[in-house]
């Protein structure tokens, strides 16, 4: 079922979202300071490409002060706007029963976009 939903996701705009994240990531990586942010955007591109069957987890080493500082910086530089856009798309998609699975994927992306440092994207078990 996840394969079918991922194909529908790609056809209905997931590929464009992934491409936007990849372009943003490459632009961020032009400067040395932007490299950590570009890596986080690549993480979101991977989740935006095939979100069904994936989940976002907090990594064990995420409690450090560097992750907290980077998440705060990320939040104020643009993470809030990325998160809000996914939140709006999720709410709009959840209006219909057919759109609920796709809206839930946008909510997953919104949560990752809010604080990506210290998070990993893994395949769901079972």
Residue ranges covered by each domain of the chain: 2-123
Place of tokens 């990752």: 112
Which residues are CB-neighbours of 37 under 8 A, at least 6 positions away?
A: 28, 74, 77
β pairing state of 119-123 and 54-58: antiparallel
What backbone phi and psi angles, to 5 degrees, belong to 101?
Answer: -60, -35
- Report, as an integer, the average pLDDT of 49-64: 85
pTM: 0.87
* Summary mean pLDDT of the chain: 91
Which two three-digit tokens encode residue 39? 């890596």
Beta bridge partners, 55, equal: 122
pLDDT at res. 66: 84
Which two three-digit tokens encode residue 20? 């936007």
Q: What's the pLDDT band for 63 if we cut at 50, 70, 90?
A: low
């Amino acid at each position: 079922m996840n394969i079918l939903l991922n194909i529908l996701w790609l056809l209905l705009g997931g590929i464009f979202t992934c491409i936007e994240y990849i372009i943003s990531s490459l632009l961020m990586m032009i400067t040395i300071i932007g490299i950590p942010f570009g890596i986080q955007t690549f993480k979101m591109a991977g989740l935006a490409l095939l979100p069904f069957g994936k989940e976002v987890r907090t990594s064990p080493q995420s409690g450090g002060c560097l992750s907290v500082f980077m998440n705060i910086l990320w939040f104020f530089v643009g993470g809030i706007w990325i998160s809000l856009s996914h939140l709006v798309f999720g709410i709009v998609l959840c209006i219909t029963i057919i759109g609920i699975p796709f809206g839930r994927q946008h909510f997953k992306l919104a949560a990752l976009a809010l604080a990506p440092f210290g998070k990993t994207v893994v395949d769901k078990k079972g």
